[in-house]
Amino acid sequence: MSPYPAAVERMMKRLYRSLRENDRRRYAAIEATELGHGGTKYIATLLGCDPKTIRQGSGELEAEDELDTQRVRKKRANASG
């Protein structure tokens, strides 16, 4: 596996930061899968995420279920009410 050129890495990081949490892990999973052996470690280091997050994204993408496109996290209950 050879790393991406620096310009591509910069674009990947910029895109990654612009995504929602669930989209980030799925994007990272696709990139890691594309690279093959060593891809998960490389992408986790490049994007600053946990390899477990990438594996979770892979599991979501490999599942037969439709991808959840709703809120990433539930709204917090109002603490003052």
pLDDT of residue 64: 75
Tens-digit pLDDT profile for residues 4-47: 999 999 999 999 999 999 999 999 999 999 999 999 999 999 99
Mean pLDDT, residues 40-58? 97
Whether residue 49 contacts residue 80, with contact meaning beta carbons closer than 8 Å, is answered with no
Query: Which of 28-37, 44-53, 58-67 is the least confident region?
Result: 58-67
Whether residue 80 contacts residue 74, with contact meaning beta carbons closer than 8 Å, is answered with no
Whether residue 28 contacts residue 57, with contact meaning beta carbons closer than 8 Å, is answered with yes
Residue 62 has pLDDT above 80, yes or no: yes
77 versus 57: the higher-pLDDT residue is 57
